[in-house]
């Protein structure tokens, strides 16, 4: 038996098709977008929590690393300075956001303290002369703040 196709069914079917098309369009566009923006707070939170996993070196004397400063060159490049109470290190990361709030990163340069600041230990310092937004943790207010 064939049912009659009435106006209500046509409107429901048309609405459903438009909805499926719209959702598919949004998913397809987001999956193919290479310009995900990274929120600096997400970067700070991620690397503050994961510094012991990200660092190319282990902390000395069984200690753990703690981030002391973030120096953002732009939204896709950041220097991260960290220490364990005995030694200090830093690295330059190239950042990209693929999904969620977790950044994909590549270590461009790895640094240790030298007589005039940090010196390159591995990789390269491709952005050393660029202006930077510097963030440090402020104990009084309990959050990372821009200091320059």
Residue 64: pLDDT over 80: yes
Q: Please tell me the predicted confidence (pLDDT) of residue 17.
A: 61
Q: What is the mean pLDDT of residues 46-62?
A: 92
Q: Report the side by side order of strands in the sheet with 102-114.
A: 117-123, 102-114, 88-99, 77-83, 66-74, 133-138, 143-146
Instruction: Give yes or no for a contact between 36 and 97, defined as CB atoms under 8 angstroms apart.
Output: yes
Predicted confidence (pLDDT) per residue in 71-93, tens digit: 999 989 999 999 999 999 999 99
Percent of residues, the chain, with pLDDT higher than 90 = 60
Tell me, yes or no, if the pTM score tops 0.75: no
Q: Where are the domains of the chain?
A: 1-33, 40-146
Predicted confidence (pLDDT) per residue in 15-29, tens digit: 766 765 666 655 655
Distance (Å) of CA 129 to CA 52, 69, 71: 28, 18, 12
Instruction: Give yes or no for a contact between 92 and 109, defined as CB atoms under 8 angstroms apart.
Output: yes
Q: Please tell me the predicted confidence (pLDDT) of residue 4.
A: 65
Predicted confidence (pLDDT) per residue in 93-140, tens digit: 999 876 666 788 999 999 999 998 899 999 999 998 999 999 999 999
């Amino acid at each position: 038996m064939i049912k009659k196709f009435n106006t209500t069914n046509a409107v429901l079917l048309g609405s459903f098709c438009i909805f499926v098309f719209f959702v598919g369009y949004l998913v397809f566009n987001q999956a193919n977008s290479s310009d995900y923006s990274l929120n600096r707070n997400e970067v700070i939170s991620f690397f503050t929590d994961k510094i012991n996993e990200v660092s190319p070196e282990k902390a000395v004397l069984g200690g753990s690393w703690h981030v002391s400063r973030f120096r953002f060159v732009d939204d896709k490049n950041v220097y991260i300075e960290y220490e364990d109470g005995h030694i200090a290190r830093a690295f330059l990361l190239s950042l990209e956001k693929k999904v969620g709030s977790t950044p994909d990163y590549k270590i461009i340069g790895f640094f240790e303290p030298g007589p005039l600041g940090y010196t390159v230990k591995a990789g390269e310092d491709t952005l050393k002369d660029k202006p930077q937004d510097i963030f440090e943790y402020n104990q009084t207010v309990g959050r990372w703040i821009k200091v320059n």
